[in-house]
Amino acid sequence: MADYEDIHYPIEKPSLVEVLKLRMYEMGLTQASLASLLGMNPSKISEILSGKSEPTLKQARNISTTLNIPPAVVLGI
């Protein structure tokens, strides 16, 4: 049964954008409050959430530790 589901209904790894949006929802955060929490520029958060930009390594580490998101998800590996 699991093989059938793996073949016909594979579950892909979530993207950083998807995980960030979920975490924002769970924590009741807006983009502005997320930027404040992470100590980042709101425009940078907007670029990351729109997929136009990737966080720097320092920002990725901060996102991972502050929001409790696995580093592999933040780094996209």
Question: pLDDT by residue (tens digit) across 13-23?
Answer: 889 999 999 99
pLDDT greater than 80 at residue 6? no
**CATH number, domain 13-75, options 3.40.50.970, 1.20.1300.10, 3.20.20.70, 1.10.260.40:** 1.10.260.40
pLDDT score of 5: 78
Tell me the average pLDDT across 35-40: 96
Q: Rounded to an integer, what distance in angstroms lies between the CA atom of residue 35 and that of residue 57?
A: 16
- Look at the pTM and tell me if it is higher than 0.85: no
Query: Who has greater pLDDT, 4 or 66?
Result: 66
Q: Rounded to an integer, what distance in angstroms lies between the CA atom of residue 41 and that of residue 74?
A: 18
- Reported as a pLDDT band with limits 50, 70 and 90, residue 2 is low
CB 34 within 8 A of CB 45: yes
- Domain locations along the chain: 13-75
